[in-house]
Structure 1
Amino acid sequence: MIEVGKDGAAWVLRLNRPDKANSLTAEMLERLAETVEAAHEGARVLILTGTGKVFSAGADLEAARAGLATSPLWERLSCAIAAFPGLSIAALNGTCAGGAMGMMLACDLRIAVPGAKIFYPVMKLGFLPQPSDPARLAALAGPSRAKLILMGGQKIPVEEAQTWGLIDRIVAPEALMDTAADLSADTLAAPEDVARGIKALCG
């Protein structure tokens, strides 16, 4: 359900549970976190994507009822992505919802296919978001828009999210991974210390 592809220093993590809208179980979250942590030493580019028409619906419904919605695994994963010293790219093949937003928000770049939506219905479901997610969302889109999503419960089309700075580029589905590869090329070609240094300077 988590596929890891390695092309030299470029790693692709693909959610592959399309029959369940790529919803995440505890086992999937743990595998993602462990892989991203390993990528700190073995990769220079990390690309997150999914199979099918949804990037991820967030927590698997049955697992959420069993406590996954508030598991520290979400924070562990998003913090591992945020701390990745290379270039991280969320290549959203479709809608990104709930806790899966933490992965997207922690990435350096976010590209998406047309028609996808972004939403995080934690308040409606009676949960607090993971600790780092609201601040990352506000840093990208602004505090009011963060509240629009988290408190107003709005589903934001990626076309609108791009005008907020939440999505960096919208590309056709068939061009999604080629675009991610193009965005990775300079980082992979540069001396590793230069790429890491530029990322550190960007904050």
Structure 2
Amino acid sequence: MIRSTDQGGGLWRVTIDRPEKANSLTAEMLETLADTFEGLVEARAVVLTGTGRVFSAGMDLAAASEGLGTSPVWERLSTAIAAQKGLTIAALNGTLAGGATGMALACDLRLAVPDARFFYPVMKLGFLPQPSDPGRMAALIGPARTKLILMGGARIPAQEALTFGLIDRIVDGDVVAEAEALCADTLTAAPDHAMAIKAMCGG
């Protein structure tokens, strides 16, 4: 349900492939994602996407009773993504919900299709967000808008998310191809040069 493919030249694509369940995440899938990103730390660029019409509905609700909502694996995953030395891009092929938000927030860039929606219903579900998510979100969109999403339960359409700064570009077409095209300069640069620029931008 998690596929990682070497696209050549230091570019990797990681795909959440459970479209029949809106790419909702089980404990096993989260462990695989964390293992995958921990193993890709030397990659030049990584594009994270999903299959179907939804990027990820977040936690598989059938696993909620097993404590997945408060598992440390969510934070382990977002930490592994944030630790990547190369460029990371979330190519959001559809709606992004709940705990899956942490993956996108930890990426360097976020692209989305026009009909994507964004919501993180931790207040409604009674869970705290992943520890790093509020800070990363507030750094992008400010504290008030972060509270709008986390405390107000607001559902944010793609155009509003772009205005907020939650995503960086709306792609009316192949969002994965656009993301991989944006990796071209990083892939052709010397690794140390790319890493230095990323560090200068704040990691």
Q: Give the structure-2-normalised TM-score.
A: 0.97
Counterparts of 1:34 and 1:47, CA distance in 2? 16
Alignment of 1:64-75 (within 5 A): 64-75=64-75
SS in 2 for 1:3: strand
- The residue number in structure 2 matching 1:192 is 191
Is 1:157 paired with 2:164? Answer: no
SS in 1 for 2:183: helix
SS in 1 for 2:111: strand
Alignment of 1:89-108 (within 5 A): 89-108=89-108
- The residue number in structure 2 matching 1:62 is 62
SS in 1 for 2:100: helix
Structure 1 runs of 4+ with >3 Å offset: none
| Equivalent pairs, count | 201
- The residue number in structure 1 matching 2:120 is 120
- The residue number in structure 1 matching 2:48 is 48
Deviation at 1:65, TM superposition (A): 2.2
- The residue number in structure 2 matching 1:19 is 20
- The residue number in structure 1 matching 2:36 is 35
SS in 1 for 2:85: coil
Deviation at 1:130, TM superposition (A): 0.6
1:112-153 deviation digits (Å, cap 9, x = unpaired): 001110110001101100100000000001000000000000
- The residue number in structure 2 matching 1:146 is 146
Q: Give the structure-1-normalised TM-score.
A: 0.97
Deviation at 1:181, TM superposition (A): 1.4
1:79-114 deviation digits (Å, cap 9, x = unpaired): 110111110000000000000000000000000001
Deviation at 1:21, TM superposition (A): 0.3
Q: Which stretches in structure 2 are left out of the alignment for 5+ residues? A: none
Deviation at 1:20, TM superposition (A): 0.3
Q: Identical aligned pairs, as a percentage?
A: 66
Counterparts of 1:189 and 1:132, CA distance in 2? 32
Counterparts of 1:45 and 1:65, CA distance in 2? 36
Counterparts of 2:50 and 2:181, CA distance in 1? 18
CA RMSD of aligned residues (A): 0.7
Deviation at 1:175, TM superposition (A): 2.0
SS in 2 for 1:179: helix
Is 1:166 paired with 2:166? Answer: yes
In the alignment, residue 176 of structure 2 is paired with which amino acid? M
Deviation at 1:66, TM superposition (A): 1.3
Counterparts of 2:163 and 2:73, CA distance in 1? 31
Counterparts of 1:175 and 1:13, CA distance in 2? 16
